[in-house]
Amino acid sequence: MGNLDKAKEYAQHVLTHREEHCEENILAAERFFRDLENPAFEMDEDMVDFVIHFIENVIVHQQGDDMFAVSIRNKPLLLQPWQHFVVVNLFGFYYKGTNERRFKEALIMLARKNGKTSFTAAIALAYQILDTDSGSKCYIVANSVKQAMEAFGFLRFNVERWNDKNIRIKDNNQEHSITANFGDEGSFFIQALANDESRLDSLNGNVIILDEAHTMRNSKKHGLMKKTMSAYRNSMLFVISTAGDIPTGFLANRLKYCQKVLKQLVTDDSFFIFICKANQSADGDVVNYLDENILKMANPSWGVTVSLKALKEEAEQAMNDPQTRNEFFNKTLNIFTNSMNAYFNPDEFIASDSCYDWSLEELARLPIRWYGGADLSRLHDLTAAALYGVYHDGEKDVDICITHAFFPRINAQKKANDDGIPLFGWQSDGWLTMSNTPTVLYDDIVKWFIKMREKGFKIAAVGMDRKFGREFLTKMKQARFKMIDQPQLFYLKSEGFRRIEFKVKNKEFYYLHSDAYEYCVSNVRAIEKVDDAVQYEKLDGDGGTARIDLFDASVFACIQALANLGKGGDVMRFFD
């Protein structure tokens, strides 16, 4: 059977045995068959055959045992069906009539112990051999040099076996590199680097391996890596990782983008996606992680590099020992979780929010009395305002929260990069206003409340702590808003906190699909006090980079709404 046929067989197996494969893997198989019929691409089977022959006959394992506890060191790296599928996609598709490979970026996201690092390193070495005439350069970038050395050590072990006098290896405290110079026939260069932005900016290569991307809080390093490959037409940026506990970080957001590509909501023909993870419910839960099929979804190398028995034992341990559960979800099921210290599960908020789809214009026409809240404690940083209302849809009361953020433009670029806050994305989505001053202007916040009132929102009162904004209080009163002094005392804020928590769990909370609000919710850490009162703060405490301002503003607004429950008739007559 030819290598292309093996890839087709794997894709067909995925589609036939859907119960063993995650949604993303099924969509990738469907995409593969569509691409084979796409006249814009052509399949180079000879190139695929060369690469697979090179990997299986030249590359060997560096370490490890097989399923029978027999050493596989120096044994050939024989590709599994899913690996055939990946190689055929990466090396087979070309733009029709050209020498340009179709895929320029690949995300390979698997659970641990599935051989992704050695497999990716072998592919990178194949790229180096193919592109020597262009002076190929490969950089392995990870969160630490130690992690980058996993792939580099594998490559060094294999290259040393060649005993080629044209290849020089440096592996010391100063540098970890492999240099090959074949004269007129070309050259290649491989180097392992730590994730130091000051050293990444000046690189120039055609193959980049970005390892353990789940630790990245923002996309800056990914953007730097893309820029380093601009000198080459046939380039490849590998992003390889398992899931982690930063649900608002780069990889988690990249996963959402990948899902849009696979579902054909977004077109990105240069991006190859191979994701194996456990399927999740709308609430983000794994229904039964003791199920064999769930374990198989995230571990395509089951039965080869990891046994199903060992996976079941891990699952049972996670069920019986809650402290190991997050690690099991991250590394064995390959799904994102929130930090162990975080109070909320953002997936619960998303599940509740997805039940509703009112626009601002529709909300303004509904018979709702709105209450405002504002968090103005740090005007030189993220500042927030919110409106909160309760709508009876005939069956239940739905709590609706409209939030808006403010940030001084002068610090926006720095904070977006340093703290990993997607400020400019929020601005383009309409969730944030930039102030053209070193601090947020009170006038900008007042104008937002005025604009919402002009849209038709009947704002009964606005709550805020007067000690953080007496000038704002005055300006709001001048704009004819009723202002309520609301001290930031945890036992007072507990009521709003518990109300939001209750409504979210009952899927009766709507926040207009705001990414900014989801970000803040995921950064809340809470401690339960006497009488179930809750004291909450940022996930990383004072001096940290997390932000919860939008959630804080929503709590202020919620408290005002709760204080006026039952007074609806009187309040609405005021507007009439």
Provide the pLDDT confidence category of residue 67 given band limits of 50, 70 and 90.
confident
Q: Which amino acid is at 143?
A: N
Query: Of the candidates 234, 56, 260, which has an alpha carbon nearest to the alpha carbon of residue 128?
Result: 234
pLDDT in tens, 124-177: 999 999 999 889 999 998 877 888 898 999 999 999 999 999 999 998 888 899
Residue 200: its pLDDT value, please? 67
Provide the pLDDT confidence category of residue 566 given band limits of 50, 70 and 90.
low
Pairing of strands 236-241, 105-109: parallel
pLDDT in tens, 181-220: 998 889 999 999 876 666 666 778 899 999 888 888 777 7
Top-level CATH class of 346-575? alpha beta
**18 CB neighbour count, 10 Å cutoff:** 13
pLDDT in tens, 286-305: 888 899 999 999 999 998 88
Assigned CATH for 3-275? 3.40.50.300
**Domain limits, the chain:** 3-275, 346-575
The chain-wide mean pLDDT, for the chain, equals: 89
Phi-psi region of 351 (alpha: psi -120 to 50; beta: other; left: phi over 0): alpha
Burial of 103 by CB count in 10 Å (0-12 exposed, 13-18 middle, 19+ buried)? buried
Residue 198: its pLDDT value, please? 60
Burial of 240 by CB count in 10 Å (0-12 exposed, 13-18 middle, 19+ buried)? buried
Percent of the chain with pLDDT over 90: 58
Query: Of the candidates 440, 459, 441, which has an alpha carbon nearest to the alpha carbon of residue 449?
Result: 459
Averaged over 252-261, what is the pLDDT? Answer: 91
Q: In terms of C-beta distances under 8 Å and separation of at least 24 residues, what long-range contacts does 170-178 make, across chains too?
A: 176/145, 176/148, 176/149, 176/152, 178/152
Residue 553 has which token pair? 């503003």
Helix (H, G, I), strand (E, B) or coil at 310: helix
